[in-house]
Structure 1
Amino acid sequence: MADERLVVTVGRPWSRGAALRDPAEAHRAATPLELFFDLCFVVAVAQLTVRLEHAYATHHVGSGIISFLMLMFAIWWAWMNFTWFATAHDSDDVPYRLLTLLQMAGVLILASGVEAAFDEETYRIVVVGYMVMRIGLVAQWLRVARSQPSIRVRAHRYALGIGLVQVGWLALVVPDSITAFKIAFLPLILCEVLVPIWAERAGAGVLWHAEHIAERYGLFALIILGESILAATVAVKDATDGGVSAAIITVAAGGLVIAFACWWLYFDTLGGDGPEDQVRAFTWGYGHYVVFGALAAVGGGLATAAAAVADHGDHPIPERTASLAVAVPLALFLIAVAAIALRAKDNCGPRRLRDWTIAAAVIVVAGLFLPPAGATAAAGVVAGVLVTVETVAAHRRYRAAGSVGDEAGAAR
C-alpha cells in the first residue's frame, strides 16, 4: 500500500504590517507582483512612443517633445518611487497588494490620457492617474510609519512631502488650463524630486538592496527596448505596404542593430552595478530619467524614420526631423549611461565617457547631414563600433587580471 502523506498548506495572516527588508538579503529578486506592476507601464510607454511618432508626422515637433518629456517624467517618477519603496518595504501582505493594485490602476488611467495630452493639450486625465498612483504610495508610507518606529521620521517625511505636492497637482486639474499647467509644471517637478532628498536626510542609512535595484532598472530598460522595437516594427510594416525598398530595409536593419547595441551597452555597463551609497543612489535613480526617456524616444524616432522613407502621407516628414529623431535620443542615451557609470575608483569611467561622447557627437552630425536611412545606418554602425570597443577592452581587462592572478599565485 502506498504511503499516505498529509500535505499541510501553511497559511499567512492577511496583514503583517509594513516590512523593513534586509539590504544584504541573499538571492533577492524581482517578485511576481513587481513584474505584474511593470506590465502596466508597458501600456503607458507604448502610448507615449506612438504619440511621439505621430507628433513628428504631423509637424508638431516642439509641442510633441515637450509633452513627451512631461509625460515620461510622470511615468518614470511613479515607477521609480514604487521600485525604491518596494526594495525596502515589500511585505507582500494583502494591504500591500491592494495598494499596489491602486497604483496600477493609476498607471492605466494615466496611459488613457496620453493621446489627449498630445493632441488636445489637456492633462486632466494624466494628472488624475498620476495622483491615484501617488495616493497609493502615501498610504504605503503611512503603513511604514506605523509599523517601523526606527524609521518613522523618514516615512512621515515621504508621506507628508508627496501629499503636499499632490495638492499642487490637484489645483491644476480643476481649471484644466494648459498655460497654468506649463507654468506650474517645473516648480512642482522640482518639489517632487526634492521630497526623497529631504526624507532621506532623516538619517535612516542604506535601506535599499543594490542588486535588487539594478535588476528592477534593467527590467524596465528591457520593457522600453521592447516597446521601441514594436513601434519600429509596426512602422516598417506600414511603410512596406507600397513595396519594399532598400531604404526601408536599411532603416529596419539599422534599428535592430541600434536596439541590440543599446541592450549590450546598458547591461554590460550598468546591468549589475547597483548603487551602494546615498549619493550614488540619487545619481543612479535620477539619471535614469534620461536613459529611459532616450530609449523610448529612440523607438519613436525609428518609427518616424520608417514613415519618412515610405513617404505615403500628404504631408511628408522633413528628412532632417526624421534623422534627428533617431540620432539625438540615441546620443543622449550613450552620454547618460556613461555618466551614470562613472565611479571614483573606476579607471575606465573617464575613458568611456570620452569615447561615448565622441560617438554621440558623430551620430548627431550624421543626423544633421544624412537622410533618414543613412542616418539610421550610421547610428547603427557607430553603436556597433562602441560595442566592439567595449568588448575588446573588457577582454583585455580580463586577461590582465588573469596575468596578475597567475603572478600572485607563483609568488606564493
Structure 2
Amino acid sequence: MTARPIDEPHRASSNLELLFDLTFVVAVAAVTEQFAHMIADGHAGAGVLPFLQVFFAIWWAWMNFTWFASSYDTDDVTYRILTMVQMAGVLLLAAGVPAAADHGDYLLITSGYLVMRLGLISLWLRAGIEDPASRRTAFRYAIGIGALQLGWFGRLYLADTGASDGVLLVAFIVLAILELSVPLWAERPRATHWHPHHIAERYGLFTIILLGEAVLAASNAVRRAVEETDVNAELFAVAGCGLVILFASWWLYFLHPAGPRLEDRRDRSYRWGYGHYGLFAALAALGAGLEVAVEQTSHELHLSPTGASYAVAVPAASFIALLWGVHRSIADPSKAHLGTALAGIVILLALPLATPAIGSVADLALTAATCVGVVAVASWNARR
C-alpha cells in the first residue's frame, strides 16, 4: 500500500467505490424520511439539529474513506474486506436513525460509526506500515480517529446520566470540530496524494445520490397519494415542479467542473471539501421538503401552507448560497455569479410569504421558475 500518483491519467471511481456509495443511499434515505416526518408533524425546528447531527456522521464517514481511497486504493483482498467492514457500519448507522429521531437514542448510530471508523483506522495503520514516506501522516490519522471514538462514547455516557440537551449539543459541536481538525493536524508532516479529478468525480457522484434520494422521497409521497386518494392535477403539478427544482440543482452543481480548479489550487481543498457538508445537507433537506409538498396535496398536515413552502424554499436557497461559497473557494470570485446567487436567494425566501394569497402549488411553480432563472443567468455568465 503506497501512495498513488496525483497525476495518474484517466483516474476514475472504482466499482468498489460505487458499491460503497450504495450503502450510503440507505443511510441518507433513513435520515431524509425522518426529517420529512418531523416537518409534516409541525416540528421542523426540533428536527433540524438531529438531522444535521446524523447527517454529519454520514457525510464525514463517506468523506474520510473517499479521500483515503483517492490516495491509497490498492483494490486487493485486505483493502476490499476493510471496505466491507465500513459498509456494514453504514448500514448499522442507518438502522439507528429512527431511534435517534424518535427518542434521542444515539447508541446504534454511534456503534455503526465506530464500526466504520475501525475499518478506516485499520487502513491507515496498514498505510503507515507499508508506506514509510507517509508513515507519520498515516499514524497521526489512526491516532486522531481512534481517540475521538472515545469522545463519542463519552457523549453517550453523558446522555445516560441525564445531561441536558444543551450540554449534549455542546459536546457534539466540540467533537465535530475535533473530527474536522484531524486531517489538518495529520497532514502537517506530509500531505496525502489525493487525485483532484478523482475527488471531483466522487463528490459529483455523491451529489447525484442525494438528488436521487430527493426523487425517491417525492416519488414515495406520490405513490402514497395515489393509493389513498384520487389522482388530481395538483398532485401532478407539485411533482412536476419538484422535478424541475431538482434538475436545476443538478445543472447548477455541474456547471463549473471542479477537477481542473482543484488541480491548480490543491491548497484550497479543505475549504472546498468541508463546504460540501452544508451543500449535501441542503440537498437532503430539499428531498424532505419536496416529500412534504407532495403529502400536502392529499393530507391535512400539522403545518401551515407557508411552512410547507418554506420547507422547499429554505433548502433550495441554502443550496444556491453554499454552492456559490464552495465554488468561490477554488475559483476567482465573480460579481456576476454573486449577484445571480443573491437574487435567487432573496426571491426564494420571499416567495413563501405569498402562499396564503396564491396557494401552495402556485408558490412551488414560482420557486421552480426562480431556480430555472438562476440556471439560465448562471449559464449565460459562464459562457461569457
How does the TM-score come out when normalised to structure 2? Answer: 0.93
Q: Which of residues 69, 88, 93 in structure 1 aligns to 2:52?
A: 69
Q: How does 1:62-211 map onto structure 2 within 5 Å?
A: 62-174=45-157, 176-177=159-160, 179=164, 181-202=168-189, 204-205=190-191, 207-211=193-197
* Alignment partners' CA distance in 2, 1:82 and 1:274: 22
1:353 and 2:318 equivalent?
no
Greater shift, 43-52 or 169-178, is seen at: 169-178
**Deviation string, structure 1 residues 182-232 (Cα, Å, up to 9, x no partner):** 341111111100111111222x24611000000000000001100101101
Query: Are 1:342 and 1:350, in contact at CA under 8 Å, matched by a contact in 2?
Result: no
**Deviation string, structure 1 residues 369-408 (Cα, Å, up to 9, x no partner):** 324323321221011111112233334x3xxxxxxxxxxx
* Matched residues, number: 375
Residue in 1 that maps onto 2:208 = 222
1:386 and 2:374 equivalent?
yes
* Alignment partners' CA distance in 2, 1:300 and 1:247: 19
Structure 2 segments unaligned to the other structure (5+ residues): none
* Alignment partners' CA distance in 2, 1:103 and 1:269: 32
Q: CA RMSD in A?
A: 1.8
* Alignment partners' CA distance in 1, 2:213 and 2:353: 26
Kindly state the Cα deviation for residue 278 of structure 1 after the two structures are TM-superposed.
Answer: 4.4
Kindly state the Cα deviation for residue 351 of structure 1 after the two structures are TM-superposed.
Answer: 1.9
- Structure 1 residues 175 and 316, CA gap change in structure 2 (3 angstroms): closer
Amino acid at match of 1:372: S
Q: How does 1:324-339 map onto structure 2 within 5 Å?
A: 324-339=310-325
Residue in 2 that maps onto 1:306 = 294
* Higher share in helix: 2
Greater shift, 101-110 or 337-346, is seen at: 337-346
* Alignment partners' CA distance in 1, 2:7 and 2:259: 15
* Alignment partners' CA distance in 2, 1:43 and 1:19: 32
Residue in 2 that maps onto 1:407 = none
Query: Are 2:137 and 2:191, in contact at CA under 8 Å, matched by a contact in 1?
Result: no
Greater shift, 255-264 or 268-277, is seen at: 268-277
Kindly state the Cα deviation for residue 148 of structure 1 after the two structures are TM-superposed.
Answer: 1.0
Query: Are 1:228 and 1:299, in contact at CA under 8 Å, matched by a contact in 2?
Result: yes
* Alignment partners' CA distance in 2, 1:169 and 1:316: 35
**Deviation string, structure 1 residues 161-180 (Cα, Å, up to 9, x no partner):** 11111111122334644735
- Secondary structure of 1:25 counterpart: coil
Residue in 2 that maps onto 1:54 = 37
Residue in 2 that maps onto 1:33 = 16
* Alignment partners' CA distance in 2, 1:356 and 1:60: 29
Structure 1 segments unaligned to the other structure (5+ residues): 1-17, 398-412
Query: Are 1:326 and 1:367, in contact at CA under 8 Å, matched by a contact in 2?
Result: no
Higher RCO structure (Cα 8 Å, ≥6 apart): 2
**Deviation string, structure 1 residues 268-311 (Cα, Å, up to 9, x no partner):** 1245455234431101110000111011110000001111232x
